[in-house]
Amino acid sequence: MRIGILGSGLMGGKLGTIFARAGHDVVFSYSHSKAKLERLARDAGAPARSGTPAEAARDADALLLAVHWSRVDDVLKKAGDVSGKVIVSCSLPMNAEDTDLVIAHTSSGAEELAKKIPKAQVVSAFSTVPSEVLFSVFESAGGSARPSLVYCGKAKSAKKVAAQLISDAGFEPVDAGPLRVARYMEPLALLVAQLAYEGERGPALAYRFEWLDERG
Ligand SMILES: NC(=O)c1ccc[n+]([C@@H]2O[C@H](COP(=O)([O-])OP(=O)(O)OC[C@H]3O[C@@H](n4cnc5c(N)ncnc54)[C@H](OP(=O)(O)O)[C@@H]3O)[C@@H](O)[C@H]2O)c1
């Protein structure tokens, strides 16, 4: 697939690299540094390049949205017309301090995103995994026990694309249902972050909840 990365930071940089290494044609976009985008494309391997958000969006089969909530409008404006595109979003609706969700309970970032771009097909995925574990999951994907990763969305075809990308990244895709389920997934992502960064066992615990049992 041709995949545009909108936001090439911790999540976008790593997932874009993984998608390229899995054989997809990736365009990294949206960073303060053009040199960083070029370096990401170079390090990712042959089927990757850098570009503007509009270039990343133009021929994309799927776009990964991986920016802070405060940058969503800006990157979408720069991407241009995303009608008909699959938008896989890992962006959580966090406040400026990254301490709380600014949308929760009765809606979600993913649902509000879908309202902003009604002609696109939004799928929520990858928000429940810390970026630190992405490469190790990808590299051990041949092993027997793949960690599960939940996703949700409306359109069947878009969910199929997201499931493929989740699988290519080394996870077992778990369809959690329609996009409204994102209102439960996004608080789960905060629990994951709490366990990963404040808990004792580090980021890997975030997708290996069964390890909690080992404490007895
Ligand atoms: N990090 C995680 O483990 C994690 C896990 C789950 C979900 N998420 C969610 O995923 C989303 C992305 O998180 P992240 O940690 O990847 O964020 P990040 O590292 O800050 O990446 C954001 C990207 O947007 C770019 N950017 C920000 N402002 C810009 C501007 N004014 N002009 C151009 N580019 C700009 C940044 O540029 P630079 O390259 O110059 O920094 C960076 O490439 C967030 O919504 C977060 O809540 C993150």
- Structure confidence by residue, pLDDT tens digits, 150-203: 999 999 999 999 999 999 999 999 999 999 999 999 999 998 888 888 877 777
Q: Which residues line ligand 1 (CB under 6 A)?
A: 7-12, 30-33, 36, 66-69, 71, 90-92, 94, 127, 130-131, 189
Please enumerate in sequence order all residues whose Cβ is within 8 A of that of 109, keeping only pairs 6 or more positions apart, or say none: 69, 89, 91, 92, 93, 101, 103, 124, 182, 186
Q: Phi, psi at residue 65, to the nearest 5°?
A: -95, 115
Question: What is the Å distance from ligand 1's center to 68 Cα?
Answer: 5
Is residue 120 a contact partner of residue 87, using CB atoms and an 8 Å limit? yes
pLDDT in tens, 93-130: 999 999 999 999 999 999 999 999 999 999 999 999 99
> Which numbered atom of ligand 1 lies nearest the CA of 128?
6
**Cα torsion angle, 20, 10, 80, 169, sign:** positive
